[in-house]
Amino acid sequence: MSNDAKADDAKKVIVYSTNWCAYCKMAKQYLASKDAVVEEKNIEEDEEFHKELMDKIGGNFRGVPVIDIAGTIIYGFDRSKIDAALKAIA
**Overall average pLDDT of the 70-87 stretch:** 96
The DSSP H or E segment spanning 72 is strand 72-75
Q: Tell whether the model's pLDDT for residue 2 goes beyond 80.
A: no
Asked if residues 42 and 66 have their Cβ atoms less than 8 Å apart, the reply is: no
Q: What is the mean pLDDT of the chain?
A: 90
Q: What are the angstrom distances between the C-alpha of 89 and each of 27, 53, 73? A: 18, 21, 14
Count the domains in the chain.
Answer: 1
69: domain CATH number?
3.40.30.10
User: Looking at residues 46-70, what average pLDDT do you find?
Assistant: 94
Looking at the chain, the whole-number percentage of residues with pLDDT higher than 70 is 88
pLDDT attached to residue 4? 55
Residue 77 domain boundaries: 3-89
If one compares 67 and 90, the residue with the highest pLDDT of the two is: 67
